[in-house]
Amino acid sequence: MAVTISLALLFGFLLVILLRSKALGAGSAFVAVMFGFYLASTGAAATVNALMSAVVNALPDL
């Protein structure tokens, strides 16, 4: 569990750096996918899923 959280934080940090430096490419795509993969393994997965469901349900009302 601690390794999963550490990797999620690491990939999240790398994703923020890549997005701020506007270095878009295969490397940033890999980092984004890996961040999502490790984030899904943490306790935040349920919160992220609920947030995305709320956004999807709110879109038709716009």
- What dihedral do alpha carbons 33, 35, 37, 41 form, nearest 10°? -170
pTM: 0.50
% helix, strand, coil for the chain, step of 5: 80, 0, 20
Instruction: Supply the pLDDT for residue 2.
Output: 54
Residues 27-36 have pLDDT tens digits of 777 777 777 8
Instruction: Supply the pLDDT for residue 3.
Output: 54
Residues 1-60 have pLDDT tens digits of 455 567 678 877 887 888 788 776 667 777 777 778 877 777 877 887 788 788 888 888
Instruction: Supply the pLDDT for residue 24.
Output: 64
